Structure 1
């Protein structure tokens, strides 16, 4: 069995976690995935007295759930962080070093979000060492960086009264983030020789009409009232491909459209919005033919300030940091969107650092220790201690 560090120092644990390659194989074909780090975390949780379940509906992509039962008289709390990371730069020197230098832990995943995994492990172990009234449910999941299959699998089997999603946030409460939807738009034209374009229907020219229409949609989004922390929604074309050769009118053009959504906007509503825009083009240009397919969609997230989990986290952040807790919104998506969609109130919070998805990544060691202290206090307050 792997020699595991003591439960007292989350930075020591973080260093060991960074040294385990857990690059997501859906992002980098052939990459290591979560198997080794899942074994490490499972062993650690068992040593701390947690009941451990490994979920692995997708072979080679395990998620770990550790449960410490309370007396049944308090609220249950889920703590969620992801085990996978993005890839490393070609030729990077020792990208999994886990070195601690000048108060920073270096390596892929150090801040995103093995800092969160380490802090959760320590906080959950410390808080549950006493007799809690409610259950502590640690969920360390696969695949957040790509398809979120881990959190989806966890939510099919486990519930809680609230959840803390640990993602890097510089020790500020993330109370909202955008959702997103990706669509494939296929435009169908008619091939003809380039010397007689009037005999064909140019799907690439029709793509230009789409681009202009989407620009108009973006202008309307920008003119709408801004969300307090997220600003405005967004729409853009991220990929485009069409045409067969230089001398042929393009009979087909395919665009990938990304729509970033605000709270209150659903994948269904933005799809309806796009369909209306495209249908209007068929009226203006009768030869315009399209097929719109939704690829992936995730709803936006927004926490309510009166939720007990938000109040508990806010109070404990202020206690540890010795200043009022700061709240923020994020433009990117997290698994909090799935957890809230499942009906579990949640909030996002995490350590400080830099280099998310960049060549050099590091986590601020003091912030990792502060994060563990804040999470421990939040668990204790939310789940409650038994009397006596």
Structure 2
């Protein structure tokens, strides 16, 4: 391998990225954030002629947009990948010491999703090195996707493109739909009293039990519904519950946090109406049942158009590299595709193979990382020419 080819090897770049702690501090209080890894990417891309913009509305939580300007008159393409990872606690071995073994590269973030970031960075450099492109190539290396996606939101306030590809891991399959989610807190009210005085107390935890039974029934109804042709039905589960002070006191409050996964046609408003109907029915039928419903973070589901030029272009080049047409699928998890789509940017998700995202051992498949880089290189060249 020549020195020049080493510089444009996605696996070598991935090793450098994995070695940098970029744990999201919104998930782990001791998380390093994206500052150091953003510095690495900015230096690497700037040295290769990219125009680098650093966005850092939240101190220590930067996102980058690196642009290779086209000559004009062509379509622009954004490649989007997140720099943050989940925490290092519980990881088996050394999470920040990348290790190659049996065709895999191990380390925290190797799969989710520093492999995709490395591939898109190398692909953009290779594509622009082939000759002048008419359209702009934008690399959005974003913060905070693992928590609230503040990075992509901030990028989209200042930058746009004619299309986008999110390089989250997808086993070299095209993802054109995924679920959304909305979080709600349900606060069930009781009345504090000494445990020896049941005539004075109202047990908020016992009252909340009626709601938990209703949540389980809602889940059964959702599962029995026809649902979305690719994503199936929405789901609901109780994630966290808090209530009570000590054994000898009737609890005055019980708070239940719910997550409702949504499919196209559902959103935070439809879910709020669904939960309100359940809670109002309980208030009408269960003595002394009273509640508050508070909406938390919500993200919309995503459904892309298979006839968009960016989808057709990538499928064409994937077929050439892989020797077969990739499957077009949907996934239950949420990604930044939904934010790009909402901003009017046609997009899809396409990334390498691997496993262990958020788990105790994480790895990226090296061969698929090379194939991803080749497919992205050809797609950028074609789309932006």
TM over 0.5: yes
1:167 Cα deviation after fit: 0.4
1-side partners of 2:10 and 2:90: how far apart? Answer: 29
Corresponding position of 1:105? 105
Answer with 374-383 or 118-127: which moved more: 374-383
Corresponding position of 1:119? 119
- 1:278 aligned onto 2:279: yes
Q: How does 1:305-316 map to 2 (within 5 A)?
A: 305-316=306-317
Corresponding position of 2:72? 72
CA contact (8 A) 1:81 1:141 kept: yes
1:196 Cα deviation after fit: 3.6
Q: How well do the aligned residues superpose, as a CA RMSD in angstroms?
A: 1.7
Cα distance, 1:91–1:78 mapped onto 2, change above 3 Å: closer
Corresponding position of 1:191? 192
2-side partners of 1:90 and 1:325: how far apart? Answer: 34
Cα distance, 1:223–1:93 mapped onto 2, change above 3 Å: closer
Corresponding position of 2:248? 247
Which structure 1 residue ranges, 5 or more long, are not aligned?
Answer: none
Corresponding position of 1:335? 336
1:4 Cα deviation after fit: 11
Cα distance, 1:343–1:37 mapped onto 2, change above 3 Å: same
Which secondary structure does the structure 1 equivalent of 2:249 belong to? coil
Which secondary structure does the structure 2 equivalent of 1:67 belong to? strand
2-side partners of 1:102 and 1:360: how far apart? Answer: 14
1-side partners of 2:4 and 2:242: how far apart? Answer: 51
1-side partners of 2:92 and 2:213: how far apart? Answer: 41
1:221 Cα deviation after fit: 0.8
Q: Deviations over 1:297-350 (max 9, x none)?
A: 000111111111111111111111101111221111111111111121110111
- Give TM-score scaled by structure 1 length: 0.95
1-side partners of 2:136 and 2:114: how far apart? Answer: 23
Corresponding position of 1:200? 201
1:7 Cα deviation after fit: 4.2
1:63 Cα deviation after fit: 0.7
Corresponding position of 1:51? 51
Answer with 252-261 or 304-313: which moved more: 304-313
CA contact (8 A) 2:90 2:360 kept: no
Q: Deviations over 1:93-147 (max 9, x none)?
A: 3211222222111111111111001100111111122111111110001111111
1:195 Cα deviation after fit: 3.2
Which secondary structure does the structure 2 equivalent of 1:39 belong to? helix
1:199 Cα deviation after fit: 3.1
Corresponding position of 2:235? 234
2-side partners of 1:91 and 1:304: how far apart? Answer: 38
Corresponding position of 1:216? 217
Corresponding position of 2:182? 181
Which secondary structure does the structure 1 equivalent of 2:158 belong to? coil
Which secondary structure does the structure 2 equivalent of 1:280 belong to? helix
Corresponding position of 1:287? 288
Corresponding position of 2:149? 148
Which secondary structure does the structure 2 equivalent of 1:199 belong to? coil
Q: Deviations over 1:1-53 (max 9, x none)?
A: xx998542111111111111111122121222111111111111112211000
Cα distance, 1:84–1:251 mapped onto 2, change above 3 Å: same
